[in-house]
Amino acid sequence: MRQRRKLGKKYALASMFSLKHYRDYKMTLPKADRRALDQVTYGDIFTSEANGIIFNSPFGRIVTISQSLRYFLQFSHLALLRFDGVPEYVRFQALLIALRVMFQYESLDFDADPRGIIPPAILRRLLRLIPAQLEFIAGHEFAHHLLGHLSEQRLQLALSEDTKAVLPHYSLSEQEELDADLCAIMRPQVDDDRRTIMLNGVLIWLAALELYQHAVEVIRPSVPWRAKSHPSARDRHSHLVRNIETKHVTAVRSISESAMSAVETFKPVLTEYLGLNIEHFETYGSMYLDAPNTSWRGPEMTDRVDYW
Ligand SMILES: [Zn+2]
């Protein structure tokens, strides 16, 4: 908050959370869908679990997106998009930060400690993709509601690993997840340009998710993520590329290929890193883009002196 105040940003807790991606997305839907979604409450939350979910509460259906997902997106963009002038090791460090956010080992104090210095022109491009990705994530959860995936018989009581709290959640099939992806992109009444911007953002997000799923398989092969509800990120990626047609098909193919090639390049490096440095995925704290006193990190800073 103090950091936000220094930057002249709004610093009330409520202003941390934007409803823009939900509202912008809803505005693009046909009227009947908008009316159907009047039954769904939505909002961002501050939680270490970097995801979007739809769940049932005594007050009705609720869609939430975690604020930490933005950090996962920002750092995975730095890793996956090949910006000129970003050294390989900085891209890999950015990937590790993104993955540690997903594994809930990275501390979420990015406002006070941004993990290094990203040149402003690159930072703007990293952030530019995020609104369309958040709209898609909201749209995917809305789609489960619109497509009738959420009958009361599908409600299950799930024991959450972390809190041991019992939360009601919906059990969905892999096909329903793929349908929700397609619906989230095709249902909006927008032109091909806007649809392609969303699709491109989603393909990059799914590439990052694939690297997370790869890391899970390396670290915890005995607990396959497939036990969870979603099909693999690669399946979701291929399904979208196969089924969505826009006039920008060449641009979409090129984004898809370049994201996949970045994933394939990172996978063996990540496997080797995790084999040698597993403790970095077992300890809570902060990881950085580079060592202190370098251009990607800035001068060495002292906890409780420089961070406050
Ligand atoms: Zn889903």
Neighbours of 211 (CB within 10 A): 22
pLDDT of the residue at 260: 96
Amino acid at position 274, single letter: L
CA 133-136-142 angle, to 5 degrees, is 150
What's the 124 CA to ligand 1 centre distance in angstroms?
A: 29
What's the 57 CA to ligand 1 centre distance in angstroms?
A: 17
Helix, strand, coil percentages for the chain (3-state, nearest 5): 55, 10, 35
Instruction: Report the C-alpha gap between 233 and 207 in whole angstroms.
Output: 7
What's the 230 CA to ligand 1 centre distance in angstroms?
A: 7
Instruction: Report the C-alpha gap between 179 and 235 in whole angstroms.
Output: 12
What's the 177 CA to ligand 1 centre distance in angstroms?
A: 5
pLDDT of the residue at 10: 59
pLDDT of the residue at 129: 95
Instruction: Report the C-alpha gap between 78 and 72 in whole angstroms.
Output: 10
What's the 215 CA to ligand 1 centre distance in angstroms?
A: 21
Instruction: Report the C-alpha gap between 187 and 256 in whole angstroms.
Output: 21
What's the 293 CA to ligand 1 centre distance in angstroms?
A: 43
User: 259 by DSSP, 3-state: which?
Assistant: helix
What's the 193 CA to ligand 1 centre distance in angstroms?
A: 25
Instruction: Report the C-alpha gap between 114 and 101 in whole angstroms.
Output: 13
Q: Find how far residue 173's CA is from the centre of its chain.
A: 21
What's the 79 CA to ligand 1 centre distance in angstroms?
A: 25
pLDDT of the residue at 7: 62
What's the 149 CA to ligand 1 centre distance in angstroms?
A: 10
202 and 240 Cβ atoms separated by less than 8 Å: yes
What's the 265 CA to ligand 1 centre distance in angstroms?
A: 28
279 and 223 Cβ atoms separated by less than 8 Å: no
pLDDT of the residue at 222: 65
Neighbours of 115 (CB within 10 A): 21
What's the 297 CA to ligand 1 centre distance in angstroms?
A: 37
pLDDT of the residue at 185: 97
The pair of three-digit structure tokens given for residue 233, joined into one six-digit string: 């990120």
What's the 270 CA to ligand 1 centre distance in angstroms?
A: 27
Q: What pLDDT tens digit does each residue of the chain (308 aa) get?
A: 555 666 666 556 656 678 999 999 999 999 999 999 999 999 998 888 888 888 888 888 999 999 899 999 999 999 999 999 999 999 999 999 999 999 999 999 898 889 999 999 999 999 999 999 999 999 999 999 999 988 765 665 554 444 544 555 666 888 999 999 999 999 999 999 999 999 999 999 999 999 999 999 998 876 555 555 578 999 999 999 999 988 999 999 999 999 999 999 999 999 999 999 999 999 999 999 999 999 999 888 777 777 65
User: Is the CA virtual torsion 222, 227, 228, 230 positive or negative?
Assistant: positive
What's the 55 CA to ligand 1 centre distance in angstroms?
A: 11
Measured between its terminal Cα atoms, the distance across the chain in Å is: 10
What's the 148 CA to ligand 1 centre distance in angstroms?
A: 12
* Interacting residues of 215 by C-beta distance below 8 A, sequence separation 6+: 99, 103, 270, 274, 281
pLDDT of the residue at 215: 95
- Interhelix angle for 233-243 vs 249-276, to 10°? 170
What's the 143 CA to ligand 1 centre distance in angstroms?
A: 8
DSSP secondary structure code for residue 148 in this structure: T
Neighbours of 39 (CB within 10 A): 9
